[in-house]
Structure 1
């Protein structure tokens, strides 16, 4: 037998271990199914930059939404105006303002030119939109419409909250919605077209665009009335449009794939529907329960006290007979502090319309009685007053009532009681006429005190040859011709003002007869002082009347002679004892006339005759059966024209003011000041700095040597870059500076292009022009020979081109600021040439800035 074969693992004498059976090989794994290939996202296709001045579709949509919201705001002006004329003005204002903003973007106008152009368009087109009834052919501007457009923009805000709604006057009131829409449209368009494209469309920046429409909406509420105007409809429409626009405008899906974009758009549609339904439900259902009551609505016209308008109250002189007939024995006032001959004045009247002497309204911008101001305890100083004596007077009200506060002289200090009711906020005063008003009125038991200055008295000799003062009073209208004829007859041979006025006063007192029209009077006397009554006074056999007729007639006669006369109504108590209180009754009522004299003050005239027997007419009249007396109703202040007898009106040019004198209207002067002052502050420094820059450029361009002119072109470019706000390195060669500045301009241009989507404004970059300029300047300076003139001209052209590209790369504000900067950067061009025109040798690589 053969020996067993030894294996490496076997040992002699030992039985070898059996070997383990080999493992069965594993079954190979099934290969994994390959994953579906991933669909690559659609790459973002870069949009080509839009030409300068064009508008993208998204921006047009933004502008349309903002304009629609502004029109909803204008719609809310309806309660204040009532008629639909305001819609034409408001809508037109929004569209004109928006159009002006678009033109500003289209032609890249600066802020000053944009504002000036918008103002011009405002006046040119405003006549047809805001005041078509006063425009020529309803379209062409006139002086009336230009004046109204200016006044409405300034005073319309006060008128709209102080006049009762719906407001129909003054004629310029519809300018308010026009100017409001114009301002909002202009500002909104500038923000949408010029500001928004330069920034990311974040919700905060998008919300800025809603400020103008929201302001119009709120303004419609503030100037409206307590009754809301379609609050639910307008509120839902405004909220739905604004919310949907904000949701869709923010968060575009341009970076998503087509499939993902469809999903996002579907979610947006669902979200939009939810927002719309929620807005309708919240504003329509919940809002109706949360809307405050009408009486608790905040509207400005309920919070602002309107200015006092005397035209809202009856003429004091028109109620003269009430005191003599109804209150003759009634105790009206108790006054202490009077002296003999002192009069208590109620009101001063200086305008006449053929029916009444009345207190002029606030629209009469004269030195007369129409302007009443809110005052405190200290009263403003009276013009023309010459006073050497004072009074300390206390008044206690009895049967008197009204808004006209009785005073003596010209009050300087007036104290009103604060208990039980404080009326100090109701006190109004006119210093020119010493007329005092308490808008809440006074009644029995009210008392007050005041200190007053008294007008000095002058003799006729002291007034001889003294002219009347130059005081402008409201015109008098519809004066009978007989007044001027009688005035010319009465003055006789008198030539000086005091002589003529005293003659008229004497003739009225001598030829007239006093009658209050009472049953105890021998001859009846009709009340009133309209044109028919004044004509009757002079055409009857006897002049019969009382203070009402004679004072009114005297004032009209003085006016016919060209003297500024006014009628004063008040009380003249008799038997005044100094230091004792005086009781004033209705029998003490009186009226007199005041005329101002230069350097003297207002002198009073009493043309009413004393009581005397009235002769009966010589022609006997047939006897008639006496009829019971029936009290006639009081004469209405605003009578119809057909209730007056026909009166011949003197329309001759002699009674009219000379209109030939040319004077700029006040509103035009105000506009010139408002526009002129900012214009001067803007243009004067701009022109001075521009002149200095032009002088600097001329000095460099016309230097003595070619190398100096070439170096000047380089220095001029560096100065323009520094003035635009670029950082000019203090050291370095021209080539290094050119590369550095070119990189800055390139970075600024890229950023500006991304913000505005604008195309480059020049085919060559600033870096190319700067490199060419730097190389040419180095050659001209270091060549050792004079450079040709055409070569130097090319360098200056390159300098100007590079500066223009740099200016177009920066924003509007930096360009404006550069106009007001003068670079103080030191230059080396002056040191690069010798006095003889030769060049100095320089080491290679030296700094030549």
Structure 2
């Protein structure tokens, strides 16, 4: 073997010899290029002897994944998606979300498996995306919306806000369930495609984990716990890692057992984690829709008419305890009319507890089943305070717990309600003071009557009378109780009294006629209490009715109006200023008052007696004037809302990127600074073109070996690949740098190779190559 020192002198300069077409060693004897070392020739110079190099040790080919492992991985992926979807069980009832999640977790996995399994090679990603979107649209339209495909897009767009403005558990309506169904489908489809297209172990579980994060966010404040779901995700992710691993099959049972143990550890260790602080609730950042007009006629305006025909049957109720059936709460007064300022939102079957009560209060469970007969309007009767409602779609005011329906009640409608009737303690009542939160302060206002221009002289008169009545009472509760005692003792119940509750009518009732119905007693009490700074509202409802043994018939003559006063830590406490014996129905078997009313009145008497025994103060506390109402500060929109809004832009940005970036990359390569760099860019462009027809992206082939692959794969390309490979090797190893003409020749060959490769494929395959994600990354 000769050495460089023994090499013969170089011949005279001249053009390089043409390659011999019969020489089949062109690939093996080619000089080293971008894809591996090897001997070769130098441009415009003599051939140099090749130095011996050790053979390249190729990495062993990965073992093919067995059909059993692949099938098990797909099953675990479907289970992960189902577990993530069940994370919405704090938002929806399990009976509503369960079937939807099961279908959304299984169908996309089966679809991906059926498409890819016969070929054991996945279709192009963009085709899989189209199949997944088409399958989701078909299943969603048929299963959720019963063939109404036109509403799918709008429902999916608005579902997140509808969920955030609905009390949990939300009703199982298609326009709400479409969001968790779509997210679960996304997790299952993405996980299945990852299993079929890659060898990663844990990555197929990430979409399910992300969907579970969304479920946690939307379920803040909902009933139940997602700890078992989180533990199931941990265990299933560990099982997926075991199934996707390259270990022996005999070790798989031990790995699965360890994964199950890990899930159990997560179940028991979760409650012990030091989690502090209140979780972020996205509902605080979402503006609820404006309250709808609940009824064209206020129930308060119907009282007088109902009392004129007292035997009209309103509804029948089967109950475990007779109560006063609350119908409507009216908390706004403009001097003429009482109206409801409740923010009614859609609800499922659960009604949350009031937020302003500082701690849990003892209560008695009351079960009721109502049958509507002739009750008009949209207001739904129930005992205070309802906790669950079944059999009737309702909207709820979370502050008061009042129930309404979207459509007016119909004869024969039935529904069941479970309520928690409050139990009151005399000691707490005696020391209670009026609340001073923004809601309570709004319930102390007494505006001027509409149309007046001067200060209303009637309001100071009400305040003066209320001060005289409550003189000597030391606490807010005692002043409120004294007002009720005064009205019961000095005024008389009379169904023939003049109806109405304006300032003028109430002044006439208090100072001259002293006769009226519960409408006048309750509204006069509310005005007097508000003049003292006591937050007060008016409630319209019915007495228990006629009957016994758990069944009561409620008639129009059982209508009753009473006021409620808000106290710190106690919430809204009812008072009954209407004389009871004259206000009840005259039918035999009528119940004059509900159990809660009787207990409350006894507690009020005990509280008053306790105060007298302690020698209460003779100086009444001056009511705190309500401060000016401040505008609620605007809350910043959370980042995840912007992310959801930007999600539809992702496909557009991807399309722009996958079309524009390759053009910019090609232009940069073709306009490089030196001819050698332009030739190298032409070769990089050619290699990317051959990658699309099967050339591995990670390879140690020489330039001529790459040319041989291209010639065998695409007809007609070898006549351009061989000269291009020579130009690449000369540019890399020749003593002289190439000239611009060589760079132009290299790019002419590259352009011809690109055209030949494109012609060899169908239009659909060419589009798939153009949109493939590999176009985003340079070689």
Q: Is the structural similarity TM-score above 0.5?
A: no
Higher relative contact order (CA 8 A, sep 6+): 2
For Structure 1 versus Structure 2, the TM-score category normalised by the shorter chain is 0.3 to 0.5
TM-score by length of 1: 0.36
Which of structures 1 and 2 has the bigger CA Rg?
Answer: 1
**TM-score normalized by structure 2?**
0.39
